[in-house]
Amino acid sequence: MKLRHPVSQAIYTSQDDGTVHVESEDGRTGIFKLDGRWVRGELKFADPHMLPFVGEPSLPSHRTRSMSGSGESRQRSGVPVPDLLGNDPTKGSRGMELGLNGKRVLVTAATRGIGLAIAQTFADQGCSVAICARGDAGLETTSKDLEARGARVFAKSVDVADGDSFRSFIAEAAADLGGLDVYVSNASGGAGPGEQAWQGGFDVDVMGAVRGVEASLPFLEESDAASVVFIASTAAIEYLGVTQGYNAMKAALITHASDLSQSLANRGVRVNTVSPGPVYFEGGNWEMIKQAMPQMYEGALAQCAIGRMGTPEEVARAVVFLASPAASLITGANLVVDGGFTKRAAF
């Protein structure tokens, strides 16, 4: 079997001796065992997710479970995604008031996927929204979308790993919006093998959250409904089949949020974490995994108790509720939003 990695574009090729040959985009090659151990070659790191699926395509039944139909049809089955946007005039208005109208919100990495859905949901609640990302094109499109929803928008291209630039962005956003009520740390360095991925996760996931809270705090303290939400992952709370920096960095966020919830409570700031499970959307990681490693996709899908993966909008609703005055008694919590993907008993 031969597969191209959906992110790095490296070519993974199974060998007759049970190893996998990996060739990077720059021509470097390496030989690896299925458990990730390097055998030989100048390329010494490979994606541990990819190796067993290329080298051993027929996975044991207990890892994949038998599934009827395609992954796409299974994704559409199970517990449906509720339509919460429709209005039934015969039932009157009985929705929960979140108390977010007029609030000022900052969301990092907000031009796609979960971050975009979070910004959109806040905008729909009547919030002003500050967003950042590393690409100008995505920011322009997202800004127009949020403005069409009636939101005041402040947008800027920022690398969250650049501490000085990130702090400046937060100050500028607060000045433009007239303050801050909610800070959502969504930016992530992503997953991957090797020290570079560990460093990227630390610089973006962890230090982005640390610096973001520190820079936002003077403005949050002036709010009568201040809230911070970190986006972590179920990878932080259960072993998902591979050892990588991403898991550890997301776990660090949960612990740091818990500490902050205690130290900032007397300053009127609530701090919580949301940990999504597998979330499927066009152009997202699980779409790429479905194309490049269909058995891994099917195996993850089989673990979702509700019969499908989540959507960015479903995660966004959890984030927006947790950040809102409607959740005023909740701080120090890690809200798992995964459709039953994780199996631990959380006491």
Residues designated as active site? 246
Contacts of 341 by beta carbon, 8 Å cutoff, 6+ apart? 234, 277, 278, 300, 303, 304, 305
Instruction: Indicate the helix (H) or strand (E) that contains 182.
Output: strand 182-185
**Cβ atoms within 10 Å, residue 318:** 21
Contacts of 338 by beta carbon, 8 Å cutoff, 6+ apart? 234, 275, 276, 277, 278, 304, 310
Closest alpha carbon to 281 in 303, 309, 252: 309
d(CA 187, CA 231): 8
d(CA 189, CA 204): 5
Contacts of 43 by beta carbon, 8 Å cutoff, 6+ apart? 22, 23, 24, 28, 29, 30
Strand 20-23 relative to strand 29-32, pairing: antiparallel
Which tokens sit at 271?
Answer: 């701090």
Contacts of 210 by beta carbon, 8 Å cutoff, 6+ apart? 256
Dump the DSSP string for 115-151. HHHHHHHHHHTT-EEEEEES-HHHHHHHHHHHHHTT-
d(CA 47, CA 223): 44
Q: Are 182 and 104 in contact (CB under 8 A)?
A: yes
